[in-house]
Structure 1
């Protein structure tokens, strides 16, 4: 499956707009029953495509625990100069540590053995690349001891 197809499927499965909401001025998320609104800054927009493709590659969902898992995985594999990713991921991990700490720690350990798109970058041909190819690039298919 191509990354374009997989990302579209990920958006549909999680109730995300077809365009991913990348251009929106404000972001609205729910923390349980509580809606939270914050600005969709340039830093967040820059981190969003890699973050979404990380969801596709790792299989972590967009629930509170899933966001904590992807946050732990991204922190462990390094967010480089994506400062918004460091901040948002740290918040997600702290939340996840109260909900299902073992899953968050497992995701962190998995991330320590991987690289990510914050490091590798995303080329213009990304939509036609495959999920399996991305998983291989990130080191997700390599057995870690």
Structure 2
């Protein structure tokens, strides 16, 4: 999954989109994007927020070596969350929070590893680079700027375990509240 370190960001993204059949520029001009849940593709709105940021999310897959499986999406979303996320973009935050929750529930070890990595590295938005400059960077140079180590090994500290446990409780607790709220709303609506 890891792109050749000598490729430019633009070349690596083009390769990523071709390998995953995501269309030109990751489907940025489509009205809908599709979320694969098993054999089913669920349409989600391809909002302006998403169109502006999808190349960065896809680049995060590339520079971290995370695939596009549910496990990989959970890991990249957790890394994005920990490195500071997406500024004030509520729809994007909702997507990464949801994917992170999937990881917390189904892939806790991998999600923890991505969490720890995120505490040692920076996110792409921290660089504040114009898109044209970002696209011309070499992947290995970009990884170095963000503090991503080639071997991907980051020491686990006691604070990581406590922080992750807190995140786990908050994330899964919020989903429980949403589910109970939906059940209550459904009960009120149909009784």
**1:39-50 maps to which residues of 2 (within 5 A)?**
39-50=45-56
Partner of 1:59: 65
TM-score (norm 2): 0.70
RMSD over aligned CA atoms reads: 1.6
After TM superposition, give the deviation of residue 144 of structure 1 in Å. 4.1
Structure 1 residue 110: Cα displacement? 0.5
Structure with bigger gyration radius: 2
- Corresponding residue for residue 143 of structure 2: 135
* 1-structure distance, mates of 2:35, 2:154: 34
Q: Show the 5 A alignment for 1:13-92.
A: 13-79=19-85, 80-92=87-99
Count of residue correspondences: 145
- Stretches of structure 1 lacking an aligned partner (at least 5 in a row): none
The match for 1:120 is 127
Q: Deviations over 1:22-80 (max 9, x none)?
A: 11111112111222101111111122121111111111111111000000000000112
Higher relative contact order, structure no. (Cα contacts within 8 Å, ≥ 6 residues apart) = 1
State the Cα distance separating 1:126 from its structure 2 match. 2.1
Task: Indicate which of 98, 101, 104 corresponds to 2:111.
Answer: 104
1:2 maps onto 2:8 in alignment = yes
